[in-house]
């Protein structure tokens, strides 16, 4: 990679004297953060799905009572309706803890590493990869939108 230090633009160029291992390490850290962003999205999806299922239980209880199944309706209402998904927590509480704890720490450490090692520049590894892989002068392979 050292031979191909060129980048698509100044914002994503490698500051001197950043070495290949550092650029690759920052790229992997960025990749890991992107995975954590996806995890957060999955957690929010679970939050919404659990909430929707809980609200559906209102209709379940109503229909079971209409059908004369009060004992089953009582159990659904008593044991499932409004139940914590983890001890003492609904999903909104899990999301808040995740956002304020692990997620915030991960973002902060990734930002710290970029600031300390690369002057805050993001995606240097990817920008250099783009420069290596694109076909110069070919439509659809421009370095930037302005090219």
Q: What is the DSSP letter of 56?
A: H
The answer to whether the beta carbons of residues 107 and 33 sit under 8 Å apart is yes
Query: Residue 81 falls within a domain, yes or no?
Result: yes
Phi, psi of 69 (to 5 degrees): -105, 60
pLDDT at residue 2 in the model: 45
Please indicate, yes or no, if residue 128 is contained in any of the structural domains: no
Question: How many domains in the chain?
Answer: 1
Residue 140 located in a structural domain? no
**Residue 48 maps to a domain:** yes
pLDDT tens-digit readout, 25-36: 999 999 999 999
Q: Is residue 139 domain-resident?
A: no
In a domain, 7, yes or no: no
Q: Please list the ranges in the chain whose pLDDT falls under 70.
A: 1-5
Domain that residue 21 falls in: 16-120
pLDDT for res 5: 66
Q: What is the pLDDT of residue 3?
A: 42
Residue 129 lies in a domain: no
Q: What pLDDT sits at residue 51?
A: 97
Distance of CA 105 to the CA centre of its chain: 13
Q: Does residue 10 fall inside a structural domain?
A: no
For 63-81, the pLDDT digits (tens) are 999 999 999 999 999 999 9
* Residue 121 CB neighbours (<10 A): 20
C-alpha to C-alpha distance for 125 and 114, rounded to whole angstroms: 12
């Amino acid at each position: 990679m050292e031979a191909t230090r060129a980048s698509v633009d100044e914002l994503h160029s490698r500051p001197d004297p950043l070495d290949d291992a550092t650029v690759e390490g920052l790229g992997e850290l960025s990749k890991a953060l992107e995975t954590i962003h996806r995890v957060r999205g999955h957690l929010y999806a679970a939050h919404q799905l659990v909430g929707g299922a809980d609200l559906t239980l209102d209709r379940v209880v109503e229909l079971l009572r209409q059908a004369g199944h009060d004992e089953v309706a009582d159990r659904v209402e008593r044991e499932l309706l409004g139940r914590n998904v983890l001890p003492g927590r609904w999903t909104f509480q899990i999301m808040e803890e995740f956002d304020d704890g692990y997620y915030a720490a991960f973002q902060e450490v990734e930002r710290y590493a970029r600031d300390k090692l690369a002057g805050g520049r993001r995606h240097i590894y990817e920008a250099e990869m783009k420069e290596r892989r694109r076909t110069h002068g070919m439509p659809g392979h421009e370095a930037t939108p302005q090219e």
